[in-house]
Chains A and B, each alone.
Chain A
Amino acid sequence: MSEAGYNYKIVRGFAFSALFWLVIGLVVGLWMAVEMFYPALNLAPWLSFGRLRVVHTNGLGLGFSLAAIFSTSYYILQRLNRVALPFPRLAQAHLYLFNTAIALAALSLFAGMNTTKEYAELEWPLDIGVVIMWVMFAINVFGTLIKRQEKQMYISLWYIIAMTVAIAILYIVNNLEIPVNLFKSYSIYAGANDANVEWWYGHNIVGFIFTVPILAMFYYFLPKATGLPIYSHRLSIVSFWALNFAYLWTGAHHLMLTPLPEWIQTVAMGFSIFLIAPSWGSVINGYYTLQGNWDQMRSNYLVKFFIAGITFYGLQTIQGPLQGLRTLNAFFHYTDWVVGHVHMGTMGWVTMVVAASFYYMIPHITNRELYSIKLANIQFWLTLFGQVIWTVAMWIAGIQQGAMWKATNPDGSLMYNFLDTVASLYPYYKLRFAAGLIFFIGILIFVWNLVMTVRKQPGTTEA
């Protein structure tokens, strides 16, 4: 318990859960990265690429990211509302249920219980567990908001509210399925409808896990870490509503040129382009906050993380809408370009902001100094280089394969068979693995730094 009776035990519990699932998810990712050029590593059914890929995406998307979100949300909610968690026991149960659910999710995916709907692969009993867990979280979210001691809600709280509401809707609608038995079910939607529901979900789950709550962290921890107020509160109001409104229309840009009705694709394309505006509202807000104080890039180690993070967010939110354009999509879709795009968001934006938030938050909740700022700086450069090499390698691989798929001989026949295009990518896959390894070493240093912060230096009597 802290000075104001805030519950930091739960914040810490989720933070270290996040770090645990981060390491697990990345180990799986590295294993798969090798399988891509060395298929002999598919040693057993549960280690085959098709099963590992979902363990990787769920382990990092649900395991790492959600835990980091819960951790920072419980912290931000108490601090901005100036009130302790109303239901600390419920939060503790939330932590246990979360880790149990993620562990069972990983085991079930290793075992091949996979509904195949991307980022919603869990079978129905686990879906119910996820929904219960979400309700437990939402009760504390609204509990603190209702009991708050502060009249107006600051930006981060809006984003936490939007996430809480949106994920509930997305998750339930997309996971409606009819069970055959405890381990198997079928989607209630068929064909093109199932595709449309799935990518409405798939796109927005990325939006409301990898964008909205990360923005909540960014808007809270950047001013806190620098002592500078955010540049414009009203700019963020307009951006917030525009983002929340427009995001939900854009899922079908994942289904360009498929049998989905063309008008849904076209509408998605239009809203995708519009989304650049509210996304860059946050980018501008981030950059201008540091106006006149850019010396903090040197003097304050955390600022680098935030600025690199928001820069990748800015690049991501331009690249994404452009990929959604029908003509560009025809070239880039189904290639590694998109894999590169996703990982710029997760390894660049999400990891950078979560790292900075944890570096700020963990010492604050434990009343200690960070174990080593030097190690944090080393981590910054390792994760930055690892990520940039990783994504650029995949962009080049994507352009190359896209071009090879389209290449024709003068007589109009195809120039390359499919296998030629795959074999041409192996150098990039090896480079990707090396880059992933650099990134992973950075993450291990990050985890080590935080573990040492909590373990060593017996500071105050805080527990």
Chain B
Amino acid sequence: MGITSKPVVFAVLSAAVILIGTTATVFIPLFMPSTQPGSAFIKPYTAVEQEGRDIYMREGCNNCHSQTVRPLRTEVLRYGEYSKPEEFAYDRPFLWGSRRTGPDLNRVGGKYPDSWHYTHLMSPQGMFEKSNMPPYAWLAKNKLDTGYSYKKTSVLGYGYSESDVEQQISQYKATVTDGAYPSKASRDKVTPPELRKELTEMDALIAYLQKLGRDVKQMEARK
């Protein structure tokens, strides 16, 4: 009875049938620049922000936090301006998420000072009694491993030289270890003394969180 007695033909036909929808809705959009447009306002992550993003991924933060504000009235009220495609041009992988056990983070950058994040990551329940977020105090007890920072940014095609990366790292280290750092007290509270002069994983994660949704604001202001 036709193809039901020809397994190889059947398999090839199955593959063809599967590939029609795939080609139309996935492969073709991959080659359309309009699917993922860029913008001169959107800058790649610095080496430290990228390390923070990798920690965000390692800890699976995306399982509870989305990173796309939808164009709905109450959502814009709650989180800020809705997400634009341009702001994800450097996101490999994307971290849009699928469940909001915690709030959306796409526009969290600049919403709170660093000190807020140190205190909150150390103990979410200390800040909000009813929160169910896991505490991440231990991130401040891990020295940031920057051994692959340059390799990472070059794989991602950010166009930094090795000295750019070194400079980004030492610059951010200088910022957070400076005596005049506005969030010094909160940072010192969570960071063990031997790491206070070093970059920790928590420092990097906060650098990443503070980057989210910042560049796009200049793009939106221009429009």
Contacts and interface: CB of A to CB of B under 8 A. Distances in A.
Interface of A: 35-37, 39, 42, 45, 48-51, 53-54, 112-118, 142, 145-146, 148, 151-153, 157-158, 161-162, 164-166, 169, 173, 178-181, 184, 186-198, 200, 237, 241, 244-249, 251-252, 254-255, 257-261, 264, 267-268, 271, 330, 333-336, 338-339, 405-408, 413-414, 418-419, 422-423, 426
Contacts of B22: 169, 173, 200, 248
A116 B57 CA distance: 6
A248 B16 CA distance: 11
A172 to B, nearest CB: 12
Contact of A165 (B15, B75, B93, B95): B15
B156 A51 contact: no
B98 A338 contact: yes
A188 B155 CA distance: 10
B62 interface: yes
Interface stretch (B99-107, B109-117, B160-168, B180-188): B99-107
Given A112-B58, A115-B57, A161-B7, 14 more contacts: A51-B60, A112-B59, A152-B4, A152-B5, A158-B4, A165-B15, A186-B156, A193-B36, A195-B88, A196-B29, A198-B94, A200-B26, A248-B18, A334-B99
Contact of A158 (B10, B21, B98, B124): B10
B56 to A, nearest CB: 9
B25 A165 contact: no
A190 B157 CA distance: 11
A259 B17 contact: no
30 contacts: A39-B124, A39-B125, A39-B131, A49-B63, A50-B61, A50-B62, A112-B58, A114-B58, A116-B95, A117-B93, A142-B7, A142-B11, A146-B8, A151-B5, A161-B14, A162-B14, A165-B14, A166-B15, A169-B19, A180-B148, A186-B93, A190-B88, A196-B35, A244-B14, A244-B17, A257-B70, A261-B32, A405-B75, A414-B77, A422-B102
A237 B2 CA distance: 12
B15 A116 contact: no
Contact of A190 (B92, B98, B134): B92
Contacts of A252: 25
A249 B60 CA distance: 28
Contacts of A166: 14-15, 18
B68 A258 contact: yes
Interface core residue of B68, B132, B155 (most chain A CB under 10 Å): B132
A5 B92 CA distance: 50
Contact of B8 (A142, A338, A413): A142
Interface residues of B, number: 77
B27 to A, nearest CB: 9
Contacts of B100: 334-335
B78 A116 contact: no
A408 B75 CA distance: 11
A191 B77 contact: no
B192 interface: no
A148 B6 CA distance: 11
Interface of B: 1, 4-5, 7-8, 10-11, 14-15, 17-22, 24-26, 29-30, 32, 34-36, 54, 57-64, 66, 68, 70-72, 74-75, 77-78, 83-85, 88-103, 124-125, 128, 130-136, 138, 148, 151-152, 155-156
